[in-house]
Amino acid sequence: MTGVLPPGSVIGILGSGQLGRMLAVSAAELGFRVHVFGDTSGPAFDVAASTTVGPYEDLGAITAFAETVDVVTYEFENVPLGAAAAAAAVRPVRPGARALEVAQDRLVEKRFLSDIGLPVAPFANVDNLNDLEDALATLGTPAILKTCRFGYDGKGQVRITSAEESDWALDAIGRAPAVLEGVVPFDCEISVLCVRGIDGRTAVYDVPLNSHKHGILDTSTVPAPVPAEVCEKARAMAARVAEALDYVGLLAVEMFYLGKDKPEPLIINEIAPRVHNSGHWTLDACGVSQFENHIRAVAGWPLGSVARHSDAVMTNLIGADVEQWAELAAEPQACLHIYGKNEARPGRKMGHVTRLSTLSGK
């Protein structure tokens, strides 16, 4: 089959963080060699066969990197489009540049989702104070002002409770191009982890419920306590996104579940064109993890089973949480993962632990 990379091929990964690390390990388990390119040395470097440090803006370095590999993928959605294009000029880049364009800009993303008929919260483009006042008049308060670009883990966004806060809110987000989103009351947040192969087939993991602390993912619990038909709908919506992007790899789609009596029970919050923190439980609860399935997809392999053998609760270890490693290691139900970062700064993702229903003390 065209585009299929045999074991021994080299997977290039842009990004040296923990997601790159877990991708690199999964690639190695399938017999691939891994070359990681990062703007700094990071956790992925310790498990990669080759590494390069350089700025993503150095297109010569990106081209040289791409020439050493058989396919290029990435662990973060803010890969500069220029870097993706430079890599794509010499090797396949999967997922493609279109997924990056859409995911890098909230406005482009929301328009894309609306255009393919998928529900999102009401939104308006905000470039200045006039735009914001108009948008608040239409959408009402409370509402959330979010920068179009570079927001993550609750950064780059501010909640507005009255129109008088407009000027302050624009300052708070650095007067960057933004989107105002209406606040839609919801029961819970779920996410959908969908993988799509180069043959266009998709597979979708069971849906986790996500809870946050200080704007950062705290736990993902699978199965989510959400009606089965809602989960099915969520899975179909994610697959629709993947198809519309002609996506190859693992796509994460965050959604809000509004409640069972709502005519439209789900809206899409945002998409991430990469493996996702809310899918880390697949490492321990499934035969084939999100990381392995991403690697399979970008290597042109058949997708692996997304079947789950256990119920699971994944909990992030943020900052000093990782100091509990000894207690966690002694818990019989816990599968512990530590990312090998040097310094446990506040808010930094240092590891995670997944507790499985099927493991008892023994």
Query: Distances in Å between the alpha carbon of 245 and those of 10, 35, 101, 118, 202?
Result: 25, 26, 10, 13, 13
- Rg of the Cα trace of the chain? 20
List 144, 207, 335, 353, residue binding a copy of itself (CB under 8 A): 335
Residue 49 makes contact with a copy of itself by CB under 8 A: yes
* Chain residues 92-121 in contact with a copy of itself, contact rule CB under 8 A: none
- Measured from the Cβ of residue 332, the count of other Cβ atoms closer than 10 Å reads 10
Residue 185 preceded by cis peptide, ω within 30: no
319: left (phi over 0), alpha (psi -120 to 50) or beta: left
CB nearer to a copy of itself: give 49 or 158: 49
Is 212 annotated in a binding site? The answer is yes
CB nearer to a copy of itself: give 30 or 158: 30
Which stretch, 3-11, 105-113, 163-171, 249-257, contacts a copy of itself (CB under 8 A)?
A: 3-11
Q: x/- binding map, residues 270-309, to a copy of itself, per CB under 8 A?
A: --------------x--xx-------x----xx-xxxx-x
Is 352 annotated in a binding site? The answer is no
Residue 322 makes contact with a copy of itself by CB under 8 A: yes
In angstroms, the CA 29 to CA 50 distance is 16
As beta bridge partners, residue 266 has: 257
In angstroms, the CA 124 to CA 178 distance is 9
CB nearer to a copy of itself: give 97 or 344: 344
Is 345 annotated in a binding site? The answer is no
Q: Are strands 33-38 and 123-126 parallel, antiparallel or unpaired?
A: unpaired
Positions that interact with a copy of itself (CB under 8 A)? 4, 6-8, 21, 24-25, 28-34, 45-49, 203, 284, 287-288, 296, 301-302, 304-307, 309-310, 322, 325-326, 329-330, 332-340, 342, 351, 356, 358-362
